[in-house]
């Protein structure tokens, strides 16, 4: 039986994340307007406070670290910014999944971004054009290409780069390379100006005859590398729902100030149109959150949640779009004032629907599973 019951320790960590999220809201507007300026690794108010993300990952008496982690991320990202910067990137998951023991040992304390998305390829890694050619004389790989919209690009210590390759025997395929900051030929671009999630570290990466040693070849194939998204896609869904939750809380507060209290006890016939619409938005939120929790529960049972991860990502992103827009419609033009959070929530929610694989891509993955179609059938 699926059980999402939390232990007292779980609830304590979630409450800590919620309180830190409220503190972080003080900085949300500033970094939304100053997107060229990265938030610090730790804000002054976080001095001496434990990082709830670390606590979630290390909890030994938890009902489930995977579920707890997703709920913590949900609480933190309602403000669009975290008091503590994450120590790990998605590239760390690739390292732990497919790297050799000696490679894991060397880079286990590094923050590693993942670099897949390219101009013209978008969310389709099969169409990437970055190449790595083996130089037999120097025992090095020569990397050429460009990656775009890379999270943690500036703050990470290295990037896990997905590339096509041609080895010493002329064999071709797709694989991954770890490229450390400071490697000649590896350039990190400026912070990108984005519609939403403006406080998030996002840059383009350029590789121009970038030489990396054979030891940096992680040898992650397409399937094993893409499997890491089974973990990250529900997390993005949880973050999107954090934004939606913040929008619902703000809307409930503003309606109350206008004399409109949300009545959860009245029948459908006695509800006002505003109350009915708000409750429907809340129901959308609850349903989407359950898809995230189910995906993480399956992961805890060692069941690869590929389709469930896509469902969680698609449902979370769509719910964030629908809820933030619905809240704006309930409050009217006043909701778009810069000193109100709905403007940011709406923009952030739209990005989360695209981030980590657009909703349309997730629905294709779901359709292929349900209908037993190949990628060729859906062209």
DSSP 6: P
198/196 Cα distance (integer angstroms):
5
Which candidate in 180, 334, 356, 360 is catalytic? 356
Q: Specify whether 356 is catalytic.
A: yes
- Residue 34 CB neighbours (<10 A): 12
SS3 category, 99: coil
d(CA 196, CA 250): 18
Interatomic CA distance for residues 9 and 261, integer angstroms: 33
Residue whose entry in the numeric block shows the structure tokens 């050799």? 100
Q: How many CB atoms lie within 10 A of CB 47?
A: 8
Residue identified by tokens 């300026």 is 37
* Among candidate residues 239, 213, 267, 255, the one with its CA nearest the CA of residue 355: 239
* Rounded Cα–Cα distance for residues 86 and 69 (Å): 13
Q: Which ranges in 273-305 belong to alpha helices (H)?
A: 273-300
Pair of tokens at residue 138: 């120097």
Active site residue ranges: 356
């Amino acid at each position: 039986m699926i059980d999402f019951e939390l232990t007292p320790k779980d609830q304590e960590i979630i409450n800590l994340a919620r309180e830190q999220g409220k503190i972080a809201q003080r900085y949300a507007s500033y970094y939304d307007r100053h997107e060229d300026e990265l938030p610090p690794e730790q804000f002054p108010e976080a001095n001496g406070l434990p990082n709830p993300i670390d606590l979630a990952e290390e909890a030994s008496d938890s009902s489930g670290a995977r579920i707890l982690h997703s709920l913590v991320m949900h609480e933190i990202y309602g403000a669009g910014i975290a008091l503590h910067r994450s120590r790990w990137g998605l590239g760390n998951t690739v390292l732990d999944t497919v790297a050799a023991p000696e490679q894991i040992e060397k880079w286990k304390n590094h923050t590693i971004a993942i670099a897949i998305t390219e101009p013209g390829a978008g969310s389709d890694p099969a169409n990437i054009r970055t190449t790595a050619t083996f130089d037999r004389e120097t025992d090095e790989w020569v990397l050429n290409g460009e990656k775009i919209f890379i999270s943690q690009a500036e703050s990470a210590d290295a990037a896990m780069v997905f590339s096509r390759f041609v080895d010493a025997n002329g064999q071709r395929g797709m694989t991954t390379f770890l490229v450390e900051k400071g490697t000649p030929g590896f350039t990190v671009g400026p912070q990108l100006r984005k519609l939403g999630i403006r406080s998030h570290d996002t840059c383009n990466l350029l590789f121009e005859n970038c030489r990396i040693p054979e030891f940096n070849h992680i040898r992650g194939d397409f399937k094993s590398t893409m499997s890491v998204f089974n973990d990250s896609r529900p997390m993005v869904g949880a973050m999107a729902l954090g934004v939606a939750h913040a929008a619902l809380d703000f809307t409930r507060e503003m309606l109350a100030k206008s004399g409109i209290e949300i009545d959860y006890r009245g029948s459908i016939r006695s509800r006002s149109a505003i109350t009915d619409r708000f409750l429907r938005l809340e129901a959308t939120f609850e349903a989407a959150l359950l898809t995230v929790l189910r995906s993480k529960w399956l992961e805890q049972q060692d069941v690869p949640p590929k389709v469930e991860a896509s469902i969680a990502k698609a449902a979370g992103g769509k719910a964030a779009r629908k809820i933030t827009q619905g809240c704006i419609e309930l409050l009217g033009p006043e909701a778009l004032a810069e000193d109100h959070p709905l403007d940011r929530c709406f923009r952030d929610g739209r990005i989360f629907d695209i981030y980590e694989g657009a909703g349309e891509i997730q629905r294709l993955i779901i359709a292929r599973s349900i209908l037993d179609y190949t990628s060729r059938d859906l062209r």
